[in-house]
Structure 1
Amino acid sequence: MAIVTTIRRDAVTLPAAELGPDNPLPPLRPLDEMHRIEDRDKDDLPRDMARQIGYEPLRSLLPARVRDGYGRERAPRELDALVIENDRLRATVLPGLGGRVASLFHKPTGRELLYRNPVFQPACFALNGAWFSGGIEWNIGATGHTTLSCSPLHAARVTAPDGGEMLRLWEWERLRDLPFQVDLWLPEGSDFLYVGVRIRNPHDRPVPLYWWSNIAVPEECRVLAPAEEAYHFGYERRLRRVPVPSYDGIDRTYPAHGVHPADYFYEVPDGRRRWIAALDEDGEGLVQTSTDVLRGRKLFVWGTGTGGRRWQRWLTEPGTGGYCEIQAGLARTQLEHVRLEAESDVAWLEAYGPLSAEREGEWPGVVRAAEERLEACLPRERVEDAYAAWRPCADTEPDEVLAVGSGWGALEVLRTGDKLPGTPFEEVTLGDAQVPWLELLRSGSFPEPRRVGPPGETLVAPHWRDMLETAPARPLTEYHLGVAQWHAGDRAQAVRSWERALPLAPSQWPLLRCLAVADQEAGHHERAADRYAEAFDDLCRERRDDGETWTSVTAALGREALDALLAVGRTEDARSVWYRLHPVTRERGRFRLTEARLLLAEGDREAARAVFDDGFEVADLREGAGAIDELWARITDEPLPAHYDFRMRPAM
């Protein structure tokens, strides 16, 4: 007898690192995003692709915060999970971690269809830092991994199109100010998990839109997609068209055949069914397909080189096998953003399930046979019908709340008075971060803090900036206004706002730090160093050493001050900052690396080398960053030790 589809609460226990506090400094500059190309490289691309690559790239991470407080010490920890299952499939979802589908288990064969990471280990891959590997992740916002990678989403039980139960995830994406939802359901007896996605633009202006569904699968596979060509993107930041499956004499559809990390964006012909599959040596694996709106398909590989292998071990547990990613997105490549018109939405349906097909042989025949197997298991027409049946259900109001996300959506709904059927952002979800902005909305005045502390988060959308401009010009208001103006590209006015606030501000270091960033961006590096030194002095006079907040802000400002002072050769001032960091901060890997830089700048090459010999791990090392190998090369001519080798591109 068929088992009725159910949704239940559960927990997943994993060796897990703590996320730690967010960086309290506003991110006036984006983290270095690897997926960029030079303008000259756009000349050889299709016109629509080149246009979308240049369409409103991200200027900053604001209003999001950088998440860099995590480490690499793991201990058993329970993660809240929601499980949706029928008699064929069981999907395990982590609502507190971006709604990640951590597992998709096929009961008849006893097979896990995804790469299921045996640990939870954040690393610096998301647009705002913390990200983790494995499962299916929902990427919305801008080129890169979403800022919601390690954040909670709202979740609820909803009636599915067939009358059963459906799991709804939703949140307000803050980089582009867009509400979105992800609906997951399993029809009775189905071998496929259906996923309906809707993104709404409630604004009176067009908005750049980005979406990729990223699916981690074991890398010992062959990846199939209906394409004869792909756009190859490597970490040398070049985008070029290559044949599929082979170029340079190597079949690149086997992830283990490449040396360096790389993206392959498949050129699926118009009118062809959209799908991608990863099959193991026995021809068993996972297939993902969708309605045609989700146009792009991609393979990401880590490669067999030293750096790629090091990253694999960094993100998971050594000895547990590697992974690659198959992906599906709204555009042909992840370098593009598409246009979502004012007061409109976009929606599509995805399906995930098992596929058994022959993977070896000539490419056209292998792809054709796999597509025929997919059609037999899940006809294209059935996917279209499922989408048509789901679309009216996207507005169905939730029956039971299962998890709670942020209060930012509730704040926006209060501001506009809009109703968003199907995705309620209730006022009860408002938290401390939203309280001052709610007062600005209701009274026209931004509240000054009752006690000294780091400023809260800044909202930067035009409507909030307008409110700040008309609010009484008190120091904290001017601070937030300057951040919003900086985000809008009005840097001169931002500087004026910060400078106006300085004489009356009880805390000067937040303003001095912003002015220091402005000096750096304008090329005034000596003045930036002066302001950073002054800001750190002011913070040290004000800070309290009895809490996580002060420790994290001291670490964040100290790190930036050290970089600025070392950049202009002021080693004595840098050493002064170093001595005033908290002892626990100085022991973190990021600061051990900085200590080696400081020692080298002071002329003590032997002591700098000793820092490397003692060993350290930079928990928040950025994807593609060269800080470790570049410093090593300044210290010694010896080969870089393997445990420090995170290089992701061939030597230039």
Structure 2
Amino acid sequence: MEIVTTIRREVLTLPAAHLGPDNPLPALRPLDEMHRVEDRDKEDLPRDMARQIGYEPLRSLLPVRVRDGYDRRREPRPVDALVIENDRLRATVLPALGGRIASLVHKPAGRELLYRNPVFQPANFALNGAWFSGGIEWNIGATGHTTLSCSPVHAARVPAPDGGEMLRLWEWERLRDLPFQVDLWLPDGSDFLYVGVRIRNPHESPVPAYWWSNIAVPEECRVLAPAEEAYHFGYEQRLSRVPVPVHDGVDRTYPPNSTYAADYFYEVPEHRRRWIAALDTGGEGLVQTSTDVLRGRKLFVWGRGPGGRSWQCWLTEPGTGGYCEIQAGLARTQLEHVRLDAGSEVSWLEAYGPFAAPPEGEWTGVLAEAESRLEAVLPRAAVEAAHAAWEPCADTEPGERLATGSGWGALEVLRSGWKLPGTPFDESTLGEEQRPWLHLLRAGSFPGPPTARPPGGTLVARHWRDMLETAPATPLTEYHLGVAQWHAGDRAQAVRSWERGLRHAPAAWPALRCLAVADQEDRHPERAAERYARAFDDLCRERGGDAAWTAVTAALGREAVDALLTAGRTRDARSVWERLDPATRARGRFRLVQAGLLLAEGRREEARAVFDEGFEVADLREGDEAVGRLWAALTGEPLPARYDFRMRPTP
């Protein structure tokens, strides 16, 4: 049989914001994550679900850095893409942006099956910050959008089960230290894109695993999933079991019917096929189905409230239409993590394609008809068979390399000697970020930077911490050791390491900043403020004029102003502000800081003028109400629509 599936490179040109540098300060504070469940809501949950909600939730972003250097100035920029297509479907993949499928087109109908974002606009929704909307993303690591949302992954051609070609994506997930792969396969003549996924645990102990495939679709639809109940989770952080489709007198399977942003995790019975579909008023749209390992199904809605509308516009161009998300995951809800035993792996197969079924009518009948039609176009047994056919190919070594990811997997493979067939992490991918850690691995010491530079990122896993503990105790080694100890929960020892390093450090600010965070966590705001003031003074004496120093000055200055205002030291906060680069002070986040500083100084009219002049906080966090709180402190007037990003009812 002639195989006509092709894989090719393309370059897209999109209005795109600049990603900018990562935040150079280690993420020492507890994870800023909205998806937490109150204990009272766990009492009536199924035992396995309650256990998995409590199983190793992520508490720290380390060793990953926060990505908050992006802006909102969109300009035409080239974006590398890989296109896999047959005579029926065309999938466009972005290897430099987490391997996301940006577009899935059904060629006979000329129909886009996904919500395709016409712009690239990062926003603060990923666990580590920068994330963008649209397409199909692969969320691995922990509850929330993956830290790889805006990072490159490896990509290559691989032989497919039918003798054609697959597109393999793979990377090293750093929060849990797990390698994973995503194989995209389009059989000749198929209306369905097959996606084989594998996560491996090469460690000698169990690891919490997490996966949700997140599919953006136009929100003017009805979402179908084989369930009569769902777990509702909103930004009030309450988890409750609700009926499907009607809840509180409203059919929630129509995304526009909700007022506020919310998750609906469908309770799919054990015996039912796993699938979810989004259909427009004409009954056409997209269906996703999978083997049973991928258990969960979910609908996320932004809601019709002003906050949800603001976020929709924030993430794309006005007038392009809203979207919702349908998702599929390893557990019932995204609040859970599943146990992946030592030396084991988990794999499954997903299928994505066009689908048509009557969306209107009584729920049970609508589901029955949809399931019958799904069985006719893609039998459940065919999905199982496709998974069985793909599994022997999962270990096949990649052929032509099409994109290069990070060097972190290569570093871990060098350290451990692990054999990971199918996902090679070549030594050639090691770069500047890995170089000092490679020196520590081979020479037993942590090298100093060749020139005066801010410290790089810290590796915090137990094996790296052990190496730092036995390395010569230079100030830089003590700094990194302290960060690793802090991550491990040994805060007292971390403070001792930073204090030891501080005694002989040529630059005091890195350790002083860490000690200031420790003071804040221990509820010593005055001591934290003093250390922040000293840290910023020291940084200003040392800093250079390039982008790396500008980024660290902005990050430390922002934290210092906040700490000094908390301690009532407005004059010192003003001193920090005045020494920030003018371009930094002009950024939206710092305009908000300026308004808070002016208010603390009693200059209310000037603070109000900052709002009147207008600003955009590019890295405003999902669920963050800081803008509204500051406005309320200034005036009793309603919050202007341009600043309204509230995702829950006003308390």
TM class by smaller structure: over 0.9
In structure 1, the partner of 2:550 is 551
Q: 1:321 to 1:91 in 2, by over 3 A?
A: same
Please tell me the residue identity of whatever aligns with 2:5.
T
TM superposition shift of 1:31 = 4.4
Distance 2:394 2:215 in 1: 23
* Per-residue CA distance 1:479-506 (angstroms, 9 max, x = gap): 0000000000000000000000001111
Q: 1:434 to 1:299 in 2, by over 3 A?
A: same
In structure 1, the partner of 2:438 is 438
In structure 1, the partner of 2:646 is 647
Q: 1:53 touches 1:337 (CA, 8 Å); kept in 2?
A: yes
Matched position secondary structure for 1:382:
helix
Q: Does 1:477 align with 2:471?
A: no
Name segments (4+ residues, structure 1) moved above 4 Å: none
Q: Does 1:54 align with 2:44?
A: no
Q: Does 1:115 align with 2:109?
A: no
Distance 1:275 1:603 in 2: 57
In structure 2, the partner of 1:606 is 605
Matched position secondary structure for 1:631:
helix
TM superposition shift of 1:296 = 0.2
In structure 2, the partner of 1:298 is 298
Please tell me the residue identity of whatever aligns with 1:570.
R
In structure 2, the partner of 1:144 is 144
Computed over aligned residues only, the root mean square deviation of the Cα atoms, in angstroms, reads 0.8
Please tell me the residue identity of whatever aligns with 2:552.
V
Distance 2:168 2:598 in 1: 53
TM superposition shift of 1:30 = 4.0
* Per-residue CA distance 1:503-556 (angstroms, 9 max, x = gap): 1111110000000000000001100000000000000000012x1101100000
* Per-residue CA distance 1:309-348 (angstroms, 9 max, x = gap): 0000000110000000000000000000110000100000
Please tell me the residue identity of whatever aligns with 1:288.
Q
In structure 2, the partner of 1:194 is 194
TM superposition shift of 1:34 = 1.0
In structure 2, the partner of 1:216 is 216
Q: 1:294 touches 1:330 (CA, 8 Å); kept in 2?
A: yes
Distance 2:530 2:61 in 1: 26
Distance 2:177 2:140 in 1: 11
TM superposition shift of 1:40 = 2.4
Matches within 5 A, 1:567-578: 567-578=566-577
TM superposition shift of 1:449 = 1.9
TM superposition shift of 1:47 = 1.3
In structure 2, the partner of 1:68 is 68
TM superposition shift of 1:145 = 0.4
Q: 1:275 touches 1:287 (CA, 8 Å); kept in 2?
A: yes
In structure 1, the partner of 2:593 is 594
Distance 1:569 1:338 in 2: 45
Please tell me the residue identity of whatever aligns with 1:551.
T
Residues 38-47 or 558-567, more deviating: 38-47
In structure 2, the partner of 1:276 is 276
Residues 535-544 or 35-44, more deviating: 35-44
In structure 1, the partner of 2:162 is 162
Please tell me the residue identity of whatever aligns with 2:492.
A
Residues 66-75 or 48-57, more deviating: 48-57
In structure 2, the partner of 1:317 is 317
Please tell me the residue identity of whatever aligns with 2:386.
A
Q: 2:512 touches 2:534 (CA, 8 Å); kept in 1?
A: yes
Distance 2:37 2:437 in 1: 38
Matches within 5 A, 1:619-638: 619-638=618-637
Distance 1:160 1:258 in 2: 42
Matched position secondary structure for 1:527:
helix
Matched position secondary structure for 2:152:
coil
In structure 1, the partner of 2:41 is 41
Distance 2:40 2:280 in 1: 40
Q: Does 1:132 align with 2:132?
A: yes
* Per-residue CA distance 1:565-593 (angstroms, 9 max, x = gap): 11111100000000000000000000000
Query: Aligned residue pairs: how many?
Result: 651
Q: 2:509 touches 2:534 (CA, 8 Å); kept in 1?
A: yes
* Per-residue CA distance 1:24-76 (angstroms, 9 max, x = gap): 00001244211111222211211111111111111210000000000000000
TM superposition shift of 1:450 = 2.6
Q: 1:16 touches 1:75 (CA, 8 Å); kept in 2?
A: yes
Distance 1:649 1:44 in 2: 24
Distance 1:413 1:48 in 2: 34
Q: 2:212 touches 2:327 (CA, 8 Å); kept in 1?
A: yes
Q: 2:21 touches 2:551 (CA, 8 Å); kept in 1?
A: yes
In structure 2, the partner of 1:83 is 83
Matched position secondary structure for 1:449:
coil
Matched position secondary structure for 1:216:
strand
Q: Does 1:98 align with 2:93?
A: no
Matched position secondary structure for 2:394:
helix
* Per-residue CA distance 1:353-394 (angstroms, 9 max, x = gap): 000000000000001101111110100000000000000100
Matched position secondary structure for 1:612:
helix
Matched position secondary structure for 1:395:
coil
Matched position secondary structure for 1:353:
strand
In structure 2, the partner of 1:536 is 536
Residues 196-205 or 43-52, more deviating: 43-52
In structure 1, the partner of 2:403 is 403
Distance 1:3 1:41 in 2: 53
Q: 1:206 touches 1:342 (CA, 8 Å); kept in 2?
A: yes
Please tell me the residue identity of whatever aligns with 1:366.
V
In structure 2, the partner of 1:181 is 181
Distance 2:496 2:392 in 1: 50
Distance 1:348 1:148 in 2: 21
Matched position secondary structure for 1:529:
helix
Matches within 5 A, 1:382-393: 382-393=382-393
In structure 2, the partner of 1:585 is 584
Distance 1:234 1:128 in 2: 21
Matched position secondary structure for 1:498:
helix
Matched position secondary structure for 2:560:
helix
Distance 1:605 1:308 in 2: 29
Please tell me the residue identity of whatever aligns with 1:523.
R
In structure 2, the partner of 1:357 is 357
Please tell me the residue identity of whatever aligns with 1:348.
W
Q: 1:274 touches 1:289 (CA, 8 Å); kept in 2?
A: yes
Please tell me the residue identity of whatever aligns with 2:50.
A
In structure 1, the partner of 2:261 is 261
In structure 1, the partner of 2:502 is 502
Unpaired stretches in structure 1, ≥5 consecutive residues = none
Distance 1:610 1:638 in 2: 14
Distance 2:200 2:513 in 1: 36
Distance 2:433 2:449 in 1: 13
* Per-residue CA distance 1:69-103 (angstroms, 9 max, x = gap): 00000000110000000000000000000000000
* Per-residue CA distance 1:444-489 (angstroms, 9 max, x = gap): 1111223211101100000000111111111111100000000000
Distance 1:406 1:331 in 2: 28
Q: 2:31 touches 2:58 (CA, 8 Å); kept in 1?
A: no
